[in-house]
């Protein structure tokens, strides 16, 4: 009987250890990449596991019972995550989003939230601390997350119809429990709440208008519903262009029911194009990575659950920060290494995809979304 080998590092994604520059690079908060984009938004994946099997992210056929998720020992501890986050904040990060997999599956997450909530920007301001969840356990966790210092949440919800929702999450999870989670988050003040709906042509576009109506009426427009184009993330979701419903089509469908007016972005680098109902019924967003790329002011870095830094959602390789952390590197060394990595960043996958014929986006294996967070 052969020995079972449990990998301590996910070798599926190459991740060299960043070099520590000979000349130290201090944290000024003004770091920009090779395209002049600042580092403002850090997405931290705290687990690669999820209790859903959404076909556009973790299709069941690939992420089946034999799939090897990362062992606990390879995950960054909360102290390691907080140390890295503090160094990123020194370079200009003002917003931290906790993601996964499903972040609420990581035990004791509230204590990480409390540690991160204690961080301050170089000029003493608190961070914008948020979290993206599938809402499955939000009803139970909302109050504790709020008490720990979480400011707001984004909930993924791909349909209101129970049968459609169960087929989209592919584990038969009932929509009612996610709606209860949104109610609970609203009740404890984890807002402004955003709800993200991934639209897949031929699967759930019939849910667009019912979702819009529900969130207009149920929360007096205080919840922002965003529609996300189906993306070719990772290498497992069988993406096809003909299953993408362009955001322009989504907007047209909504306008058949309600007058909508454009709104300016709230912050530079915002992924959603904002629209408001002319009758004051609230706001919606369109996230159009496929048909309207927004790479020109992308200020997002992503940290995988085992400490690899990825510079783009569609990256094919990362940078191994955990080895620096566990190899005894000082804060100053890691700060310099981070600066050098970001300064060399020129990622703009969505722009390049748009400029190339379909399918010509290169064969290199892209990192999976469940591993680095959306």
Of 17 and 361, the one with the shorter C-beta distance to ligand SF4 is 361
Of 294 and 342, the one with the shorter C-beta distance to ligand SF4 is 294
Q: Which of 269, 355, 323, 334 is nearest to 88 (CA)?
A: 334
Say whether residue 52 binds ligand SF4 (CB under 6 A).
Answer: no
Region near ligand SF4 per CB under 6 A, out of 23-31, 48-56, 190-198, 308-316: 308-316
User: Quick one: CA dihedral 78, 326, 69, 238, positive or negative?
Assistant: positive
Query: CA 212, CA 277: separation in Å to the nearest integer?
Result: 11
Say whether residue 350 binds ligand SF4 (CB under 6 A).
Answer: yes
Region near ligand SF4 per CB under 6 A, out of 111-119, 309-317, 334-342, 361-369: 309-317
Smallest distance, ligand SF4 to C-beta of residue 198, A: 15
Of 10 and 347, the one with the shorter C-beta distance to ligand SF4 is 347
CB 85, CB 93: distance < 8 Å: yes
What residues numbered 319-348 form the site for ligand SF4, per CB under 6 A?
347-348
Of 98 and 138, the one with the shorter C-beta distance to ligand SF4 is 98
Query: CA 110, CA 114: separation in Å to the nearest integer?
Result: 6
Query: CA 311, CA 41: separation in Å to the nearest integer?
Result: 11
Q: Which of 165, 215, 275, 349 binds ligand SF4 (CB under 6 A)?
A: 349
Of 239 and 314, the one with the shorter C-beta distance to ligand SF4 is 314
CB 133, CB 97: distance < 8 Å: no
Collect all residues with Cβ–Cβ distance below 8 Å to 9 and sequence separation of at least 6. Answer: 74, 306
**Virtual torsion, Cα 32, 35, 36, 39, nearest 10 deg:** -40
Say whether residue 314 binds ligand SF4 (CB under 6 A).
Answer: yes
User: What's the DSSP call for residue 292?
Assistant: S
Q: Which of 132, 166, 133, 158 is nearest to 227 (CA)?
A: 158
Smallest distance, ligand SF4 to C-beta of residue 333, A: 27
Smallest distance, ligand SF4 to C-beta of residue 298, A: 3
* Interface with ligand SF4: number of residues (CB under 6 A): 12
Say whether residue 97 binds ligand SF4 (CB under 6 A).
Answer: no
Tokens of 136: 């499955």
Query: CA 206, CA 249: separation in Å to the nearest integer?
Result: 12
What residues numbered 257-296 form the site for ligand SF4, per CB under 6 A?
289, 294-295
Q: Which of 106, 300, 308, 319 binds ligand SF4 (CB under 6 A)?
A: 300
Of 96 and 182, the one with the shorter C-beta distance to ligand SF4 is 96
Residue with tokens 């709020």: 146
Say whether residue 298 binds ligand SF4 (CB under 6 A).
Answer: yes
Collect all residues with Cβ–Cβ distance below 8 Å to 344 and sequence separation of at least 6. Answer: 33, 34
Interface residues with ligand SF4 (CB under 6 A) are 289, 294-295, 298, 300, 312-314, 347-350
């Amino acid at each position: 009987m052969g020995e079972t080998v449990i990998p301590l590092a996910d070798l599926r994604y190459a991740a060299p250890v960043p070099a520590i520059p000979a000349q130290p690079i201090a944290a000024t908060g003004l770091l920009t990449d090779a395209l002049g984009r600042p580092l403002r938004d850090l997405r931290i994946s705290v687990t690669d596991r999820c209790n859903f099997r959404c076909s556009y992210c973790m299709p069941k056929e690939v992420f089946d019972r034999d799939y090897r998720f990362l062992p606990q020992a390879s995950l960054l501890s909360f102290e390691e995550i907080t140390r890295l986050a503090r160094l990123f904040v020194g370079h200009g990060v003002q917003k931290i989003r906790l993601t996964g997999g499903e972040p609420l599956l990581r035990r004791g997450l509230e204590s990480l939230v409390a540690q991160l909530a204690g961080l301050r920007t170089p000029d003493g301001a608190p961070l914008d601390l948020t979290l993206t969840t599938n809402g499955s356990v939000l009803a139970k966790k909302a109050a504790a997350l709020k008490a720990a210092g979480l400011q707001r949440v984004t909930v993924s919800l791909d349909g209101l119809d129970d049968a459609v929702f169960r087929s989209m999450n592919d584990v038969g999870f009932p929509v009612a429990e996610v709606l209860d989670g949104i109610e609970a988050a609203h009740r404890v003040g984890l807002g402004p709440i955003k709800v993200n709906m991934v639209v897949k042509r031929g699967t759930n576009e019939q849910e667009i208008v019912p979702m819009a109506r529900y969130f207009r009426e149920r929360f007096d427009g205080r919840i922002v519903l965003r529609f996300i184009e189906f993306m070719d993330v990772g290498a497992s979701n069988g993406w096809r262009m003909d299953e993408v419903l362009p955001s322009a089509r989504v907007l047209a469908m909504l306008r058949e029911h309600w007058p909508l007016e454009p709104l300016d972005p709230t912050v530079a680098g915002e992924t959603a194009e904002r629209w408001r109902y002319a009758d004051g019924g609230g706001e919606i967003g369109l996230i159009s990575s496929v048909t309207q790329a927004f790479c020109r002011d992308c200020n997002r870095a992503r940290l995988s659950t085992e400490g690899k830094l990825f510079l783009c959602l569609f990256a094919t390789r990362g940078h191994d920060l955990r080895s620096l952390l566990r190899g005894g590197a000082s804060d100053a060394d890691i700060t310099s290494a981070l600066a050098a990595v970001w300064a060399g960043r020129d990622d703009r996958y969505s722009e390049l995809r748009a400029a190339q014929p379909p399918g010509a986006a290169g064969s290199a294996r892209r990192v999976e979304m469940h591993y680095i967070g959306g």
